[in-house]
Structure 1
Amino acid sequence: MKREARILPEIVVVGSLNLDLVARVPRRPLPGETVLGSALEQHPGGKGANQAVAAARLGARVAMVGAVGADGFGDALLASLRRDGVETRWVERRAGSGTGVALITVDDQAENSIIVIPGANGLVDPEQVARATPAIRAARVMLLQLEIPLPAVMAAARLGREHGLTVLLDPAPAPPPDRPLPPELLALADYVTPNESEAAALTGLPVNPDDPRPVAEALLRRGARRALIKLGARGAYLLGPEGEFRHPGFRVDAVDTTAAGDAFAGGLAAALHRGMPAGEALTWGCAAGALAATRPGAQEAMPMRDEFEGFLRERSASP
């Protein structure tokens, strides 16, 4: 068995680890309807773990902070992270809870619907985050999502700010209207990176993909330092102190968009930890997301560094 890495991370991810159970269906069922599927697959996932693998495969040293159950699912998720070189010493085993599970349906148009059962992810707390201070202090970039309890996310963001990290907040899953994200959390993040539905949930405004600036401006008014709106196949839009950036996205034959947003986050983080300017980092995020959508699964779909760099060279050389 491959020995667990012991590294000083460049990127630290504080978030979820899930086992993904993926059902392939011709179309997603309507309420009360039964649809026959063609396959059931099992993949390592969780937004946090996916983003950790995405960044690691692009050459960054990455540490994961989170929790799994003392069960076979937890064993599988830790082994998957270690295979990609992710430091797992700050992933704690919780004997009283099962490992998180995501139930995912993917249709013939590569669109997905997801139900998450948090399990041990729901037990991550500020005290555990504090125990991971050595990883946070060593890193340059922090990735956060909302699949662990909000107090833990807040604690991580505060520690990230205290130690001078670039903090990326992926506000997914979107918070319900009766529990909006505190402005303090948005203000602690250097980049807030919702997709269209999450941006609408955060601001109460619909996103016009042809002109997302009004929604980005609304996020800045709520406290975000930079608002980055992911637009799926249309690319992404970024508004912040450096100015306004728009990437049209890369055309690919999509197979499964389940982890495209997580790949985007990993690509963005990998670029920022290298010191790339915001516009170039946006390109890296779009490229990683596009490549991940061309294959099934979550962590398995994340592009390797050689493939990613070849993709960028090829697309930059295209007329």
Structure 2
Amino acid sequence: MDLVAYVETAPRRGETVTGRAFRTVPGGKGANQAVAAARSGGSVSMIGAVGEDDFGVRLRASLADAGVDTTGLRTVEGESGTAHIVVDDDGGNAIVVVPGANGTVDGLADGDEQRIAAADALLLQLEIPLPGVIAAARTAWEHGVSVVLTPAPARPLPSELLAVTGLLVPNEHEAAVLTGKSDPRDAAASLLAHVPEVVVTLGEKGSLYAVRDAEPLWIPAPRVKAEDTTAAGDTFVGALAVARGEGRAMPDALTWASAASALSVQRPGASASMPYRTETDAFAATLNGSRTPS
């Protein structure tokens, strides 16, 4: 559950500021990507866990309302995961995640292998224990299912996970943490030694797509006035997975995902801000495609 405080300027260490609004919004990177994919027209199942608290009830209901199959969503003792978010007037955010029930997802449960095997793609994030991520990714790889990994929160990735990842989607900060390289192009080139495809998201600057033995492509982001960037990256990944599943070429898929992300940042909240397919289609039709970075 996202606990979001809106402020003019985010507080520095030791500083107290007065906020202008507070919202409690269903979130979590996995749930956000599930909702984004569902609203983009995908058929989505969620594997994860919520607690026995009121947040857990609300989180399950919000996924179901978005059309996500929650059969694989476990209910465990204790509290649901929370994210404590400060959003400033420029749309920037800072987030503290408390895993809660997410910390129990350290492996697959009954029925999870069948859910993964039936999918076109498995979207993974790092807000559950790494053994759970690896187990899911390996299962997908064994069944020929594409693994799309968002390495957030950023941490070193074991070779056994990278070996079964088809597409890695870090933001520029995460790419730098993973590689030690601040230039996104250099970071992407370094990551291609471990995975076949990389998309580095660059916020308002767009995204960089890199594949082995080819020049990288820069996909510009639409120019919009951002109100809240909280779920921009998750919206992008969810929409991208649907576009790839439909067989679109990557430049077109990335432009379409960028359109979805640009729509989401103009609205408050996480999953509540995510556009529906008809909205993304209409906005994407007004955009140009990709460029080769200079």
2:71 to 89, 99, 106: 89
CA distance in 1, matches of 2:141, 2:256: 24
1:296 is paired with a residue whose SS is: coil
CA distance in 2, matches of 1:183, 1:282: 27
2:74 is paired with a residue whose SS is: strand
CA distance in 1, matches of 2:256, 2:25: 24
Alignment of 1:1-319 (within 5 A): 19-95=1-77, 97-128=78-109, 131-175=111-155, 180-207=156-183, 212-221=184-193, 223-241=194-212, 243=214, 244-316=216-288
CA distance in 2, matches of 1:169, 1:127: 17
Equivalent residue, structure 1, for 2:292: none
Percent same amino acid among aligned pairs? 50
CA distance in 2, matches of 1:213, 1:245: 10
Is the CA contact (8 Å cut-off) linking 2:256 and 2:281 kept in structure 1?
no
CA distance in 2, matches of 1:227, 1:315: 22
Is the CA contact (8 Å cut-off) linking 2:198 and 2:209 kept in structure 1?
yes
CA distance in 2, matches of 1:115, 1:141: 28
Is the CA contact (8 Å cut-off) linking 1:242 and 1:278 kept in structure 2?
no
Shift of 1:240: 0.8
Of stretches 184-193 and 237-246 in structure 1, the one that deviates more from structure 2 is: 237-246
Shift of 1:192: 0.6
Is the CA contact (8 Å cut-off) linking 1:187 and 1:225 kept in structure 2?
no
CA distance in 1, matches of 2:211, 2:287: 26
Is the CA contact (8 Å cut-off) linking 2:121 and 2:148 kept in structure 1?
yes
The aligned amino acid for 2:35 is V
2:221 is paired with a residue whose SS is: coil
Shift of 1:187: 2.3
Could you tell me the TM-score, scaled by structure 2's length? 0.95
Q: For structure 2, list consecutive stretches of 5 or more residues without a partner in the other structure.
A: 290-294
RMSD between superposed Cα atoms in Å: 1.3
Is the CA contact (8 Å cut-off) linking 1:110 and 1:254 kept in structure 2?
yes
CA distance in 2, matches of 1:146, 1:242: 29
Of stretches 141-150 and 275-284 in structure 1, the one that deviates more from structure 2 is: 275-284
CA distance in 2, matches of 1:314, 1:272: 20
Is the CA contact (8 Å cut-off) linking 2:37 and 2:238 kept in structure 1?
yes
Q: Which contiguous aligned blocks of 4+ residues in structure 1 show a shift greater than 3 angstroms?
A: none
Aligned residues: 288
After superposition, the C-alpha distances for 1:22-68 in whole angstroms (9 at most, x for unaligned) are 00111111100001111110100000000000000011100000000
Q: For structure 1, list consecutive stretches of 5 or more residues without a partner in the other structure.
A: 1-18
Of stretches 230-239 and 282-291 in structure 1, the one that deviates more from structure 2 is: 282-291
1:254 is paired with a residue whose SS is: coil
Shift of 1:316: 4.9
Q: Give the 3 Å change call, closer, same or farther, for CA 192–252 of structure 1 in structure 2.
A: same
CA distance in 1, matches of 2:159, 2:196: 11
Is the CA contact (8 Å cut-off) linking 2:32 and 2:231 kept in structure 1?
yes
Is the CA contact (8 Å cut-off) linking 2:81 and 2:98 kept in structure 1?
yes
Is the CA contact (8 Å cut-off) linking 1:254 and 1:293 kept in structure 2?
yes
Shift of 1:314: 2.7
1:63 is paired with a residue whose SS is: coil
After superposition, the C-alpha distances for 1:260-304 in whole angstroms (9 at most, x for unaligned) are 000010111010111112222211221111111110000001101
The aligned amino acid for 1:199 is A
User: Which has more strand, going by share of residues?
Assistant: 1
CA distance in 2, matches of 1:304, 1:284: 12
Could you tell me the TM-score, scaled by structure 1's length? 0.88
